[in-house]
Amino acid sequence: MSQTTKTLFQRIIDRELPASFVHEDEHCVVIKDINPGAPLHLLVVPRKPIARLIDTTAEDQALLGHLLLVANKVARDAGHGEAYRIAINNGAAAGQSVFHLHLHVLAGRPLKWPPG
Ligand code: 5GP
């Protein structure tokens, strides 16, 4: 994939841009969000550059399960295993701004429902 077609998160995964990594494995990375919306705000990002959740297929079933398990792990490791939120914004109108699938992991403050 050429540099111009890489997503922002692909460039972070490839260490072309800096980020604060808290987890890394063969399928995904977890970084701190640059503009945190809560005391804990992590992004679980698959290495596979899937644009949106709606673009996943049955082929991605194991990967999607893995991303949830990693979200559990990083929330628990940060001391927030009892209260955290996982969010995925699918599409610009739903708030997605980076078109490389990612799970938000938010914790450390009261989280209202429904989100805005
Ligand atoms: P989305 O709006 O696509 O659901 O979430 C994108 C997230 O990426 C936002 O919460 C935003 O703060 C975060 N973000 C945008 N640019 C960067 C960056 O360069 N580094 C990191 N670590 N996070 C970023």
Q: Is residue 113 in a domain? A: no
CA angle 50, 28, 82 (to 5 degrees): 110
CATH of the domain at 93: 3.30.428.10
Count of structural domains within the chain: 1
Taking only the tens place, the pLDDT of each residue in 37-85 is 999 999 999 999 999 999 999 999 999 999 999 999 999 999 999 999 9
Q: Is residue 114 in a domain? A: no
Q: Is residue 57 in a domain? A: yes
Average pLDDT value for the chain: 96
Q: Are strands 21-24 and 85-87 parallel, antiparallel or unpaired?
A: unpaired
Q: Is residue 115 in a domain? A: no
Cα Rg of the chain (Å, integer) = 14
DSSP states along 48-100: S----GGG--GGGHHHHHHHHHHHHHHHHHTT-TTS-EEE---SGGGT--SSS
The residue whose CA is least distant from atom 15 of ligand 1 is 34
Q: Provide the pLDDT for residue 4.
A: 60
From 8, 17, 29, 34, mutation site for ligand 1 pocket: most ligand atoms within 8 A of C-beta: 34
CB atoms within 10 A of CB 97: 7
Boundaries of domain holding 89: 3-107
Q: Is residue 91 in a domain? A: yes
